């Protein structure tokens, strides 16, 4: 329920207007003078202030200015007497949302109230989203203490304040979009939008419309004018992910925007000028794409003014415990499980894998384990990954028995020796996590434990 502060020095007027607003579904707080009203503004979570202009002591205009100094976004509607147009103009110049002249129509008042409250709701939502985005995509959200990551932080710190184009390269799942957003939110453009689009997700015709917009009637289905991502990102940053997938004809149009900062919507003739910083990302080698004739060389050099390469997770495994702790902290809130933890054995297992899907795969695996684990601590057996485990069959092996097994050795001794060595190898490869060692051997965990006891293999 929205809360309105009603300020007037006439008690009867407060009673009548309060009743009207309550019937409209609003919560109403009243104050008979400006001083008391400002105390309410300081202490209450309000959605709107409606104040009379003429009051003894602190008048409406003074209250307006005090309110704006405290919370500039809080809307204020001024009530003025007939003939006080000059005061009303002064109030609008001081930041009033609107003014109404007595006597006014009740419907007119309600309409003005709803417009003011809707506007304030949008302002608050924008502030919340901006804070959330800065928290989510700020510099601190790129996790790692590895030397390569320390170098990455230095690069972002130096590149962020500049208007130059940045090409971010790296394998899928390494966090290229996080870097792009960190560049934006640590730049002078942080108050403007950061718009992203995946060039591989749309066919050429749709991607052109998404980037540059279209005029009404430009093609079948274009029932209205639509602004493209370049216009939406004006004064901000446009992040083009998977730039290596963009078709050559569209590359030419993108090159022109980078050179002239102008373009036309599809079906339009008017040139539109924008001020947009371009950050692109790819998991391809664009130099090789240029050699193959699949990517324009001149566009490559326009995009690759500054370059950031993200290392794969397998090259910075020492960051896995820190990343895991970050994901666990997020999952505690997301899953409402404040006691969620990950065991040391599970962490050791995570660091033993190659993580072909990089940080994204690690995050997904931890989230899946957090959901599926029976208690509040993730154990090795809870973790499932997409990283393939090398496997083979005995038929793949060519054995020269006479050269490796002396004649006369009893079969049980040979089988026991091989079995023991296979157990030891599986345990070593899985960092002595029995559930995963048993999986590699194709036996149950209980059978593995029995055989470990049989051969005197101790738990680590």
User: pLDDT category, 129, cuts 50, 70, 90?
Assistant: low
Q: Is 271 exposed, middle or buried (0-12, 13-18, 19+ CB in 10 A)?
A: exposed
Same domain membership, residue 86 and residue 15? yes
User: Residue 62: what pLDDT?
Assistant: 94
CATH number, position 438: 1.10.10
Residues 6+ apart with CB under 8 A from 319: 143, 144, 145, 146, 149, 313
pLDDT tens-place string over residues 171-194: 999 999 999 999 998 999 988 889
Alpha carbon distance 247, 250 (integer Å): 6
Listed residue (252, 168, 167, 249) closest to 203, CA to CA: 249
Q: How many domains does the chain have?
A: 4
How far, in Å, CA of 179 to CA of 282, rounded? 13
Give a yes or no: residue 341 inside a domain.
yes
Q: What is the CATH number of the domain that holds 363?
A: 1.10.8.60
157 and 281, same domain (yes or no): yes
pTM over 0.75: no
In a domain, 388, yes or no: no
Cα angle: 147, vertex 150, 155; to 5 degrees: 130
Q: Is residue 460 part of a domain?
A: no
Distance (Å) of CA 17 to CA 64, 102, 106, 111, 459:
20, 13, 9, 14, 78
The enclosing domain of 73 has a CATH number of: 3.40.50.2300
Report the CATH number at residue 234.
3.40.50.300
Within this chain, do residues 254 and 290 fall inside the same structural domain, yes or no?
yes
Q: What is the distance between the alpha carbons of residues 206 and 219, in angstroms, rounded to a whole number?
A: 11
Determine the Cα–Cα distance for residues 101 and 222; give it in Å rounded to an integer. 45
* 259 and 326 fall within a common domain: no
* Same-domain status, 324 and 414: no
Q: Which of 351, 382, 413 is the last residue of a domain?
A: 382
Q: Are residues 189 and 98 in the same domain?
A: no
Phi-psi region of 178 (alpha: psi -120 to 50; beta: other; left: phi over 0): alpha
Structure confidence at residue 137 (pLDDT): 47
**Are 277 and 238 within one domain?**
yes
Is 389 inside a domain boundary?
no
Q: Is the pLDDT assigned to residue 283 strictly greater than 90?
A: yes
CA angle 440, 446, 447 (to 5 degrees): 65
Q: How confident is the model at residue 76 (pLDDT cuts 50, 70, 90)?
A: very high
Instruction: Decide which of 311, 341, 373 is a domain's last residue.
Output: 311
Q: What is the pLDDT of residues 352-400, one digit of tens each?
A: 888 999 999 999 999 999 998 988 899 988 887 665 544 455 544 455 6
- Looking at the structure, do residues 146 and 281 belong to the same domain, yes or no? yes
376 inside domain: yes
Q: Please say if the pLDDT value at position 417 is more than 90.
A: no
For residue 210, what pLDDT is reported? Answer: 93
pLDDT of residue 415: 83
334 is in which domain, residue-wise? Answer: 314-382
Residue 255, pLDDT > 50, answer: yes
Q: Are residues 105 and 170 in the same domain?
A: no
Beta strand 237-241 pairing with 194-198: parallel
Any domain includes 387: no
pLDDT in tens, 285-330: 999 999 999 999 999 999 999 999 999 999 999 999 999 999 999 9
Q: Let me know: does 40 contact 16? Beta carbons within 8 Å.
A: no
Looking at the structure, do residues 164 and 301 belong to the same domain, yes or no? yes
Q: Does residue 178 form part of some domain?
A: yes
The rounded radius of gyration (Å) of the Cα atoms in the chain is: 33
Residue 172 and residue 319 in one domain: no
Same domain assignment for residues 359 and 254: no
Answer yes or no: is 82 within a domain.
yes
Residue ending a domain, among 311, 328, 357, is 311
């Amino acid at each position: 329920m929205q809360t309105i502060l009603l300020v007037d020095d006439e008690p009867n007027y407060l009673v009548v207007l309060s009743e009207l607003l309550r019937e409209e579904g609003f919560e109403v707080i009243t104050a008979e003078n400006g001083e008391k009203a400002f105390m309410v503004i300081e202490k209450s979570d309000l959605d709107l202030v409606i104040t009379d202009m003429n009051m003894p002591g602190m008048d409406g205009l003074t209250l307006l200015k005090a309110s704006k100094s405290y919370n500039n976004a809080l809307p204020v509607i001024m009530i003025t007497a007939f003939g006080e147009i000059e005061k009303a103009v002064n109030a609008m110049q001081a930041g009033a949302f609107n003014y109404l002249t007595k006597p006014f129509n009740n419907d007119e008042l309600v309409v003005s109230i709803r417009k003011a409250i809707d506007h304030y709701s949008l302002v608050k939502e924008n502030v919340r989203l901006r804070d959330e985005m800065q928290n989510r995509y700020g510099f601190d959200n790129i996790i790692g203490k590895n030397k390569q990551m320390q170098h990455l932080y230095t690069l972002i710190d130096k590149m962020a304040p500049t208007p130059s184009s940045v090409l971010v390269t790296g394998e899928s799942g390494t966090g290229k979009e996080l870097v792009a957003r960190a560049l934006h939110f640590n730049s002078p453009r942080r108050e403007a939008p950061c718009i992203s689009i995946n060039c591989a997700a749309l066919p050429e015709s749709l991607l052109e419309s998404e980037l540059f917009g279209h005029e009404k009637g430009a093609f079948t289905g274009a029932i209205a004018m639509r602004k493209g991502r370049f216009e939406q990102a004006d004064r901000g940053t446009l992040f083009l992910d998977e730039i290596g997938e963009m078709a050559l004809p569209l590359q030419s149009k993108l090159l022109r925007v980078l050179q002239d900062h102008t373009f036309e919507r599809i079906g339009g003739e008017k040139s539109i000028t924008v001020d947009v910083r371009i950050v692109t990302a790819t998991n391809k080698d664009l130099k090789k794409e240029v050699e193959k004739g699949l990517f324009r060389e001149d566009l490559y050099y326009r995009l690759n003014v500054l370059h950031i390469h993200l290392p794969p997770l397998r090259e910075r495994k020492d960051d896995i415990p820190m990343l895991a702790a970050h994901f666990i902290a997020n999952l505690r809130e997301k899953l409402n499980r404040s006691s969620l933890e990950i065991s040391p054995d599970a962490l050791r297992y995570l660091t033993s894998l190659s993580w072909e899907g990089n940080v994204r795969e690690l995050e997904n695996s931890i989230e899946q384990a957090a959901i599926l684990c029976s208690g509040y601590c993730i154990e090795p057996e809870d973790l499932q990954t997409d990283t393939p485990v090398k496997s083979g069959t005995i038929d793949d092996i060519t054995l020269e028995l006479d050269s490796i097994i002396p004649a006369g050795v009893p079969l049980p001794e040979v089988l026991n020796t091989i079995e023991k060595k296979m157990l030891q190898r599986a345990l070593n490869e899985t960092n002595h996590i029995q559930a995963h060692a048993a999986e590699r051997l194709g036996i149950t965990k209980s059978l593995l434990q029995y055989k470990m006891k049989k051969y005197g293999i101790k738990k680590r």
